[in-house]
Structure 1
Amino acid sequence: MSGISGIGGRASGIQDIMALRQQIMERSQLLQQVKTPDATQGTTATGGAGSSFTDTLKGALENVNATQQKSSAITEAYEKGEVVDVAKVMLARQEAGVAFEATLQVRNKLLNAYQDIMRMGV
């Protein structure tokens, strides 16, 4: 009986990971639209139907890295006394923080799923 509930838990964990991945992709698209409302939608990192999970993950990590670098640059400009809107600085820092937290949560879910798979009997 406990083996059956364990299997269902693993399937549920994978569904949770996929749902979290979808939410992150949707939020990333929304953030891209907020940053550049006139940009074309074809340049987002979500990829097409033929893209692999590795490519999608790599693209997402590159987006997070770019967001953090942008935040650092804007913060540094503000600290140097350049004319930078405080709201832009705070928004960039918050955006970088949210992107990092989302990446951390995805990593945790993937690690849990990997550990569950490794515990499975063959």
Structure 2
Amino acid sequence: MDTKGIDQMLSMLRATSAATGGRLAEAPSAPAAGTDFAQVLENSIAQVNQTQQQAQAMAASFAAGNNTENLHDVMIALQKANISFQEMVQVRNKLVSAYHDVMNMQV
């Protein structure tokens, strides 16, 4: 699974969090200039969706008795899909929390 988009998004979130905390950010792994946050987020969601669809297809194929799928590979694919979904939910929770923090700031 390619996690480049998720890594970029997490790097941007860490840099933003460090900047609002009043301390200097660690050097981000990807340059901030030219990176469209919305595009990174959209790509990450599409990647999670693709991982889940692939895992569901493997599980359906295994349940139908297809000999090309084995239980080990199906279980690994399902766990990868589950972990990637949980990671996406945690990133969403952090984004919502950051949004609420910004909205509650007094100017």
Taking structure 1 as the reference length, what is the TM-score of the superposition? 0.61
CA 70–97 in structure 1, closer or farther in 2 if over 3 Å, else same? same
Residue of structure 1 equivalent to 2:47: 63
Moved over 4 A (4+): none
Choose between structure 1 and 2 for higher RCO, CA contacts under 8 A separated by at least 6 residues: 1
1:50 CA drift (Å): 2.2
Return the offset for 1:74: 0.1
Alpha-carbon deviation of 1:85? Answer: 1.1
> Quick one: structure 1 residues 50 and 12, their matched pair in 2 at CA, closer, same or farther if it must change by over 3 Å?
closer
Contact 1:67 1:95 in 2 (8 A): yes
1:102 aligned to 75, 87, 97, which one? 87
Q: For the residues of structure 1 that align with 2:15 and 2:35, how far apart are their CA atoms?
A: 24
**Which secondary structure does the structure 2 equivalent of 1:63 belong to?**
helix
Task: Supply the RMSD in Å over aligned alpha carbons.
Answer: 2.4
Higher helix share: 1
Give the counterpart letter for 1:109 in structure 2. Answer: K
**How has the CA–CA distance of structure 1 residues 49 and 67 changed in structure 2, closer, same or farther, with 3 Å as cutoff?**
farther
Is residue 2:58 matched to residue 1:74?
Answer: yes
Normalising by the residue count of structure 2, what TM-score does the alignment of the two structures yield? 0.69
